[in-house]
Structure 1
Amino acid sequence: MPSCVPYRRAAAVLLLAAAVPVHGANTEPRKAAEVPPADASFVAMQSIDAPIVDGGRVDGVLHVTITVQAKSEEEAAALTKRIPELRAAALPATIEFARLRASRFAPVDVERLAATITQPVKRVDATVDKVLIVKVSATEA
């Protein structure tokens, strides 16, 4: 076995040589990526959690994160003051959708959910242009 020792040393030297970068490390300063400014016509709402009821028992929870889009930036600024009212209008619509059309075993029909929430939210404030479902999931209770 003494003849294996030179091969092991040679293998170790080759592995070390492969681990050392051929070129010097990149030390040039990098510029931060330009992030476009956020569109001020969007107003985020706090997420809503609605129980999924099946056969008289709570079978899961529907988690929905909503953002509303105003027709203009000025109207969006006014909408931020009415977020509690908008959320109060979206909550019963989300609960009704969860009761009738949601299951933790099937994908959520996001288009239908957005349509269900849009009408009551627009009744609160007509400056709402769109109701966007940003995030949705149905989980076990």
Structure 2
Amino acid sequence: MCNSLPMVILCRIFLLSLLLWALNPVSAGAEDVKAADIAPIYIQFAPISVPLMQGGYVQGSFHIRVELAVTSEKNKEAVDRMMPRLESAYLMSLVDLSRYVIRADEPADLVSIGAALQQSTNDILGPEKARVLISEAAVRR
């Protein structure tokens, strides 16, 4: 059947393509299961507001809504258990940031704010347990 060199090459190409075709549904099914396993679960927090002080006077306020994205039910349960500590840590971080980073007359630096909130999350839950998402942020004068 595959006696000559061109026929050997064609047979190998055919067998390789047949093998790839046969494995394709299995790998696609595995990817679907893997994607379903890591689909994020979103946990919303109540909005947080902090006053923006400057020179001893309130110059405005900063309002933010935060969500956490977790990838497992176990991490979701940990967030639910630690919700009061997370909310308190977020409020303390935002009060600290309102002194030097968040200003009433400037746009909010969401990268710095997100990094500070992510650090608070990592300190409480552990690294890579949840990802902080800022869904809303506003500076009001």
Task: Give the TM-score taking structure 2 as reference length.
Answer: 0.65
Q: Distance in 1 between matches of 2:88 and 2:65?
A: 14
Q: Which consecutive residues of structure 2, in runs of 5 or more, have no partner in the other structure? A: 1-38
Q: Distance in 2 between matches of 1:122 and 1:111?
A: 16
RMSD, aligned CA: 1.7
Give the 5 Å matches for 1:1-141.
Answer: 41-126=41-126, 128-140=129-141
CA deviation map 1:82-125 (0-9, x unaligned): 21111111111011111111122221111110001111221111
Q: Which region of structure 1 is more displaced relative to structure 2, 93-102 or 71-80?
A: 71-80
Residue pair 2:121, 2:130 contacting (<8 A) in 1 also? no
Residue pair 2:40, 2:71 contacting (<8 A) in 1 also? no
Q: Distance in 2 between matches of 1:90 and 1:79?
A: 13
Residue pair 1:40, 1:73 contacting (<8 A) in 2 also? no
Deviation at 1:40, TM superposition (A): 5.5
Deviation at 1:131, TM superposition (A): 1.0
Q: Distance in 2 between matches of 1:110 and 1:68?
A: 15
Name the structure with the higher helix share. 2
> Aligned pair count?
102
Task: Give the TM-score taking structure 1 as reference length.
Answer: 0.65
Q: Distance in 2 between matches of 1:43 and 1:78?
A: 11
Residue pair 1:93, 1:117 contacting (<8 A) in 2 also? yes
User: Structure 2 counterpart of 1:94, which letter?
Assistant: L
User: Structure 1 counterpart of 2:57, which letter?
Assistant: R
Q: Distance in 1 between matches of 2:88 and 2:124?
A: 9
Q: Distance in 1 between matches of 2:78 and 2:97?
A: 28
Q: Distance in 2 between matches of 1:71 and 1:89?
A: 22
Q: Which consecutive residues of structure 1, in runs of 5 or more, have no partner in the other structure? A: 1-38
Identity of aligned residues (%): 22
Query: What SS class does the counterpart of residue 91 from structure 2 fall into?
Result: helix
Residue 60 and residue 128 in structure 1: after superposition, are their counterparts in 2 closer, same or farther (change >3 A)? farther
